[in-house]
Structure 1
């Protein structure tokens, strides 16, 4: 009879240290088979040189190398998760499958399917909280309803944080509990139909200095003063608990608040799963978007004739990253100057941004469109020219990404600001009043 094992399923937690689900798996009385599944339902939508897939594959290689030192290895599969688990059920005698929570609508549906499949074979499916400090209903109003405004949410979040503190899960101390076997499949990128991307995911910097100076430096795109942490939180290559602990030690709370914003948007997506497709404030779905495809293409390419908007889009296209301040401007420009549906912009960011996280992306796009929780009011329309004076007055960022902006060859303004502003106010007012 086969020896019973547990399976740990890596997903958005690509690290061996301080991994909550992995910690619980390794502290059980069974040996643990670690697996990762390249989900074909997700991959088939991506270009074959997607930088995020290259990044994930490299992180899996790093994990595998660490496991090899203990005589074990990581099993990497490609296919539909339910099909992979069906084949695992025929090859192993499984007691429990353990993983960490995922909160996005597709993931919730997928996990329910896997749970039902395993239950039909009398196998437990256990999941743990790992990618956030507080989730779901842990920070809610007195009446149990979700917060829809950031400030009171953050206040309650901080109260809970100071009351409960943070627990860490030293999973890295129990690596000898993995199944000893080096015959597991470890698929190459080409095995799953991908090639190594020429764009690399930026490494992150969370120094004490960056955190302390974040308030003064974060709004200026020419300064390299953002952490680039988003992608690493998205894929769990870094522990959110360690980052929050470090941020909480600073007297400057601005960086810490950014981590709370991430959890605010996650609980919004959890409580309001319709928001990726529909406006949070339903009356905003009545807006008569122009959705001019040529203008959308010009925005995507960074050819709108507005240098700060164009610089942001070109930075995104070339690096997979865009400075946070500029994200607000390009988003507002698309929705309000061009009257193009925020969902078009959200989908483009989903395709291009390395740090794409559905909850934050949808939350921020609905914020600039005026349709979301705690949103920018519809009559607040960023002036893309005065934004340069505020945030790039020496034109360093613009010169880097739009070197031709003072030449005759540079694109003419796609729309005149004053005209666009008045048109936007009229269209929005008709829809929402």
Structure 2
């Protein structure tokens, strides 16, 4: 006779503490089998030494060890297409309910809808819970129910709602004794999935009271390296957003808090307007005639544009999987405005390279620099990559770290003249928008 269980499906919530869906699963009478699926639909598009895959795998190994040693339990690891994995699971177990936390990206929505439909044909419930955000979907909207498309009023409404909402933390860790015990679980490793252990490592995050209090004063200077490195940990859920918001609100400085709200702003934009993953929020911007010069794009990717601050950002990204946020704005603007290369090319490159890549924020920020998104920079706002050095890297500490050759004869001459590029950009954008 098949064992009767509930399943908890880990996705973007790789932690045992303060995990909403896991907590809910552990309230039920049947033992809970935790699973994680390395989705081949996603992994097939990634480089074979992708640091994010290594990070997920190593995080799961740590969690597995905790469950094995303390609770005689485990996490079953699968590689393949989620629907096929569930077809295997229903052959092996009698499943009453599958619990998981909500994911708001277009692919995730389609996948979950397909899984839910399949499970329902076998009388298995599929329950999702809010976990990776404080407010989701339609929870922060205008009085007429329509979504906010400008950040500041969204942020003000978000804060007002937060102050009147009891934000519950979930004591999932205290309930882990209800996990399925001594169970023969499936397992897979990196090499079986065609991956190797990445040389790049995702750094630990730093969120101290000092960092939050000094965040406003230091966050724009890439040479200081004073950012939290929280991005990948929120992306993969190794830390709870509720815990981070609580830490942020405990300090007097609200800038760090507002950065976390930006993340939720872009998430609800992508949820309300899923077409923006590939199309401009402002449709007329899709009329822009991009130059899309592949040689210039390659120079941008490699950090060989002849503009030291742009090149420093791209070289930092290529070498470490991270780029300082201030520099992200500059390199994005340079690609779209100076080189007239489609923002989608840059978005795809960041998607491959950034450890903290998260579709909603990446698409939102790329559309911001291109001028075609919500709350975007006007198209005539074109960063000067030379004067930006004076503003944000006056002592050249960031440039010297990542472009040590910037004063050598071997350093490339600028691939485009700023004044000419600016005039060309204004002309091309005006023609498209008028």
Note whether the superposition's TM-score is higher than 0.5: yes
Equivalent residue number for residue 209 of structure 2? 208
CA-CA distance at 1:193 after TM superposition: 1.1
Note the C-alpha offset of 1:422: 0.4
> Retained in 2: the 8 A contact 1:51–1:196?
yes
Paired residue for 2:30? 30
Alignment of 1:376-387 (within 5 A): 376-387=377-388
2:44 paired residue number? 44
Q: Is the 8 A contact 1:98 1:127 kept in 2?
A: yes
Q: Does 1:418 align with 2:391?
A: no
Matches within 5 A, 1:140-159: 140-159=141-160
Matching residue of 1:10 = 10
Distance in 2 of aligned mates of 1:246 and 1:156: 20
| Distance in 2, Cα, partners of 1:322 & 1:179 | 42
Deviation at 1:245, TM superposition (A): 0.5
Q: Does the 8 A contact of 1:135 with 1:263 survive in 2?
A: yes
Give the 3-state SS of the residue equivalent to 2:200 in structure 1. Answer: coil
Contact 2:280 2:373 survives alignment (8 Å): yes
> Who is 2:324 aligned against?
323
Deviation string 1:370-405 (CA, Å, 9 cap, x unpaired) is 000000000000000000000000000000000000
CA contact (8 A) 1:234 1:357 kept: yes
Q: What is the CA–CA distance in structure 2 between the aligned matches of 1:185 and 1:33, rounded to whole Å?
A: 11
Please, which runs of 5 or more residues in structure 2 have no aligned partner? none
Query: Secondary structure, in 3 states, of the residue corresponding to 2:277?
Result: coil
> Which residue matches 2:241?
240
C-alpha distance in 2 between matches for 1:86 and 1:361: 34
In structure 2, the residue corresponding to 1:6 is in which secondary structure?
strand
- The structural deviation recorded for 1:186 is 2.2
Partner of 1:196: 197
Equivalent in the alignment of 1:62: 62
| SS of residue matched to 1:127 | strand
Whole-angstrom CA distance in 1 between matches of 2:183 and 2:324: 42
Matched, 1:398 2:373: no
Partner secondary structure for residue 199 of structure 1: coil
- Aligned position for 1:281: 282
Counterpart CA distance in 2 for 1:430 and 1:301 is 31
Query: Is residue 381–residue 421 contact of structure 1 (8 Å, CA) maintained in 2?
Result: yes
Deviation readout 1:272-321 (Å, 9 max, x if unpaired)? 00001110000000101000000000000000000000000000000000
Alpha carbons 2:6, 2:25 under 8 Å: kept: yes
- What is residue 333 of structure 2 aligned with on the other side? 332
Distance (whole Å) between structure 2 residues aligned to residue 370 and residue 298 of structure 1: 23
- 1:305 corresponds to which residue? 306
Give, in whole Å, the separation in 2 of the partners of 1:354 and 1:376. Answer: 25
Match of 2:272 in 1: 271
Per the normalisation by structure 1, the TM-score is 0.99
Equivalent residue for 2:182? 181
Determine the structure 1 residue equivalent to 2:261: 260
In the aligned structure 2, how far is the partner of 1:88 from the partner of 1:71? 21
The alignment partner of 1:126 has SS state of strand
Q: Secondary structure at the match of 1:274?
A: helix
Structure-2 residue corresponding to 1:343: 344
Q: Contact (CA 8 Å) 2:67, 2:74: kept in 1 or not?
A: yes
Q: Which residue of 1 aligns with 2:20?
A: 20
3-state DSSP class of the match of 1:347?
helix
TM-aligned CA deviation for residue 182 of structure 1: 4.6
Over residues 10-68 of structure 1, what are the superposed CA-to-partner deviations in whole Å (9 max), with x where a residue is unaligned? Answer: 00000000000000001111100000000000000011110000000000001101110
| Structure 1: stretches of 5+ with no match in the other structure | none
Equivalent-residue separation in structure 2 for 1:127 and 1:15 (angstroms): 17
Does residue 103 (structure 1) correspond to residue 100 (structure 2)? The answer is no
Q: Distance in 2 between matches of 1:278 and 1:120?
A: 35
Give, in whole Å, the separation in 2 of the partners of 1:347 and 1:266: 18
The answer to whether the 8 A contact 1:68-1:182 is kept is no
TM-score (norm 2): 0.99
SS at match of 1:423: helix
Q: Is the 8 A contact 2:2 2:92 kept in 1?
A: no
For 1:3 and 1:382, how far apart are their aligned partners in 2? 62
Measure the CA separation in 1 of the matches of 2:324 and 2:86.
40
CA distance in 2, matches of 1:170, 1:247: 21
Q: Distance in 2 between matches of 1:68 and 1:195?
A: 25
> Which secondary structure does the structure 1 equivalent of 2:274 belong to?
coil
Kindly indicate whether the alpha-carbon contact (under 8 Å) linking 1:211 and 1:252 is maintained by their aligned counterparts in 2.
yes
Q: Distance in 2 between matches of 1:326 and 1:5?
A: 49
Q: Is the 8 A contact 1:6 1:96 kept in 2?
A: yes
Query: Using the alignment, how far apart are the partners of 1:307 and 1:247 within structure 2?
Result: 34
